[in-house]
Structure 1
Amino acid sequence: MRPRIGYKKLAAVGVAAVVGVASTIALTSGSASAAPVFGYSGYSFGTGIEAGIVQHGPNVVAQFSCTTDSSAKDRNDLATANVNNQAIAQTVTTDTHAFNDAKGNGVTSNATAADIKVGNLLHLVGAKTTTTSVYKNGQLSYTGNTTFAAVKIAGVVVPSLVKPSPNFKVAIPGLGYIVLNRVGGVKTSAGIYSYAQAVVLHANVKNKYIPEGVDVAVLKTRAEITKPATAMVMGDAYGSTVQVDKLVKSGKTSYQATCQGTEGKTIKNSIAGIEIPKVASVGAIYTTKNGYMGAEKSAVNFTSHIAGVRVGSLRVGAIESSASAWKTKDGKVGIHSSSSVASIQVGNKTYQVATGPNAVLDIPGVAKLTFNQVVRQSRYVSVNALVIDVYSLNTKVVLGHSAAGVIG
């Protein structure tokens, strides 16, 4: 059994740490005449919040991200997966693995639970969900499905839901509604990703199990495979994360990631802002991603933008960051990052914004500020425009994260 991983929301990449600079990524060096590569990514988890604000992220996580290793795999298990201090799923196992065999090149992700319960409102027995994405003979395809051994709603057995049709919606008195066997796939010019979820719980009435307005995914899986290309692009961006002690108070806002690029289109993800009671107020946030994979060149760019932030007595002006990476057919590689912070103020006093990589400003009794926090490798770069360590709150706030890299 492995410990829980506290993210607010997982996407296909997940190469960055929950807070702070992205984890070190080992990228293959390749050569000028390197053969085209496939990209593999997958994850599965027990429970996780999809909408609403609750101090909980996906747990019982098995994942690997943006790799060219066809033997990549991960597995996890946990006796109980909780949401809002409620034992929602029991005896949970998750696994995800890549393959390159007679079936083709692909990824399969699985998740199972002996029981999924919401008090006496809902009881799902023997739940299993799985999804697979495959590239074979020049074609992309996917499969996904969920089955149950038994289904009870308000104590009544419902045999017709043991093998539910895709995206089947059911009303649950006292909770709201659920969607069983949520499945789908998205095909692009660069590859395909598929997803499957055993059940999504939508709490739209007041109840003692899940806060009203919160959506919870139980047994969620994702599988992704790219077509062969010069290099696989990777990266992510988000506006902010906030951690108090060991508790994630706010996950990655306006999060975006990729292992395939965007077919050269700029995709924007924005929110009006967030309030973290007694900790921070973050203004309007948006992130962008743009990337492509091809026979001649692969490239990717991420950006992050925040209107402003208030943490206690500390006020921060507009924050921005960007990261990009590219590789050409002849083996040339480039990476670049940048970040900026408009202003720093405490009360009526204005502080000079430090420049240069990993520059530090210490404001006694208030916070330590790290500007332009960068991790660079030969084919990967990650930047946090600003990291605030608040002394009195034992809090870390990461702002303006962008990362980009190429593999192959």
Structure 2
Amino acid sequence: MRPRIGYKKLAAVGVAAVVGVASTIALTSGSASAAPVFGYSGYAFGTDVQTGLANSGPQVISQISCTTDPSRQSRNDLATANVNNQAIAKTVTTDTHAFNNKYGNGVTSNATAADIRVGGLLSLTGAKTTTTAWYKNGNLYYTGSTTFAAVKIGGIPVPSLLKAKPNTKVAIPGLGYIVLNRVGGVKTSTGIYSYAQAVVLHATVKNKYIPQGVDVAVLKTRAEITKPATAMVMGDAYGTKANVDKLVVSGPTSYQATCQGTEGKTVRVAVGEVVIPKVAYVGAVYTTKNGIVGADKSAVKFTSHVAGVKVGNLSIGAIESSAFAWKTKDGKFGTHSSSSIASIKVGKKVYNVPTEPNTTLEIPGIATLTFNEVVKQSRYVSVNALVIRVHGLNTKVVVGHSAAGVIG
């Protein structure tokens, strides 16, 4: 009997071949460890702008980074997700939770929206999407699906799309096209992750709702379970994230995380320039991850790269960071982090870039800058290349984040 799951959605493209899109697939794996410790990871986003110029990163976020705690959970609800100052999804609920019960060890990510709308071009009401990845009795499984209460294209009901087949492509006059119910699962030598998303909006023509050339994933989820190993790897990377107090005004751009490594392959995620409304302009962003999980050694490295940032008259050159962690079967382990910033200037005035950890620089009337912000624990290290606290807006912008660690 498979786990009883709620609703949820898509995750990102992975490092191994997609194994299929059927509702449930069993994947044979090796036998369980004598001392089974599993890694749980997953996320759910309300919206995620995937290419081109955007006003924010992922919104309405619930996520758990790699953890061995099967009771870990995260939830975010009753929010509106905006793209290009348009309310694309309303009354959005997301949640991600791990489990260890009679169904096995796994993660479920869910997302719902009362209304997904692009003006009068497209209306999706009662959207519900879900995905689960789990391990039981030496096998790996996943399931994912999306349903809608009503679908209208150009104001015309289309009942055949209420339970769309996986990866259904539909033309939307005045916008471009959409892909409904995008689902799948990817198996690696160390575990499995599954993904599902309600709809991806592809704006291929000029319109007043979404910039041409931009893709927007709405209700995007990922669930990941790792088999027992020497150590679980953990960490994440993103280009920028902005908060006003505890409110996220721009989610993590080019976000990546892992719980099972990448089988030694480098995975790269990139976006074009990003505008954080009324705060900053950010140049092109990309992140990388590379990790292995095995019987002899587990290791992971994350990097973050930002072309530059502008806040008013403040211009900051290329920003980079990296974080690395490892552990071997004989119990040895280590961590390392680094960060760099090419330049800082206001108008024609050039400032020296501090290199010591947790150094601050005051830019009168504009912002307070903190460089190489490092948090280090026994088997974990996190670095923010730059933290910008914008005067007068009570806004904090994190730029160039990388983190890495090992568990077990």
SS of 2:50 mapped into structure 1: strand
Structure 2 partner of 1:22: none
One-letter amino acid matched to 1:185 = G
Identify which range, 239-248 or 201-210, moves more after superposition: 239-248
Counterparts of residues 70-109 of structure 1 (less than 5 Å)? 70-78=70-78, 81-84=81-84, 86-109=86-109
TM-score normalised by length of structure 2 = 0.78
One-letter amino acid matched to 1:134 = W
SS of 1:353 mapped into structure 2: coil
**C-alpha contact 2:66 2:234 (8 A) present in aligned 1:** yes
Q: Alpha carbons of 1:36 and 1:367: their partners in 2 closer, same or farther (altered >3 Å)?
A: same
Deviation digits for residues 4-54 of structure 1, max 9, x if unmatched? xxxxx9979xxxxxxxxxxxxxxxxxxxxx945211122224334333434
Structure 2 partner of 1:321: 321
The CA deviation at 1:233 is 0.9
TM-score normalised by length of structure 1 = 0.78
Counterparts of residues 320-399 of structure 1 (less than 5 Å)? 320-346=320-346, 349-365=349-365, 367-391=367-391, 396-399=396-399
**C-alpha contact 1:203 1:212 (8 A) present in aligned 2:** yes
1:405 paired with 2:405, answer yes
One-letter amino acid matched to 1:327 = K
Structure 1 partner of 2:37: 37
The CA deviation at 1:261 is 1.3
Counterparts of residues 64-213 of structure 1 (less than 5 Å)? 64-78=64-78, 81-84=81-84, 86-213=86-213
**C-alpha contact 1:343 1:351 (8 A) present in aligned 2:** yes
Q: Alpha carbons of 1:109 and 1:390: their partners in 2 closer, same or farther (altered >3 Å)?
A: closer
**C-alpha contact 1:36 1:230 (8 A) present in aligned 2:** no
The CA deviation at 1:80 is 5.2
RMSD in angstroms over aligned alpha carbons?
3.5
**C-alpha contact 2:53 2:273 (8 A) present in aligned 1:** no
Structure 2 partner of 1:223: 223
Counting matched residue pairs gives 380
**C-alpha contact 2:360 2:370 (8 A) present in aligned 1:** yes
Counterparts of residues 225-374 of structure 1 (less than 5 Å)? 225-241=225-241, 252-269=252-269, 285-306=285-306, 311-346=311-346, 349-365=349-365, 367-374=367-374
Q: Alpha carbons of 1:286 and 1:234: their partners in 2 closer, same or farther (altered >3 Å)?
A: same
Identify which range, 257-266 or 300-309, moves more after superposition: 300-309
**C-alpha contact 2:38 2:225 (8 A) present in aligned 1:** yes
**C-alpha contact 1:55 1:248 (8 A) present in aligned 2:** no
Identify which range, 319-328 or 224-233, moves more after superposition: 319-328
The CA deviation at 1:300 is 1.0
Deviation digits for residues 57-90 of structure 1, max 9, x if unmatched? 4444333221111122334431755545545445
| Percent of matched pairs sharing the same residue | 76
Structure 2: which 5+ residue stretches go unaligned? 1-9, 14-33
Structure 1 partner of 2:62: 62
Deviation digits for residues 252-284 of structure 1, max 9, x if unmatched? 444433222111223344567667798666566
One-letter amino acid matched to 1:38 = F
Structure 2 partner of 1:24: none
One-letter amino acid matched to 1:230 = T
**C-alpha contact 2:59 2:250 (8 A) present in aligned 1:** no
One-letter amino acid matched to 2:66 = C
Structure-1 separation of matches of 2:86 and 2:380: 40
Q: Alpha carbons of 1:390 and 1:129: their partners in 2 closer, same or farther (altered >3 Å)?
A: closer
**C-alpha contact 2:52 2:273 (8 A) present in aligned 1:** no
Identify which range, 380-389 or 359-368, moves more after superposition: 359-368
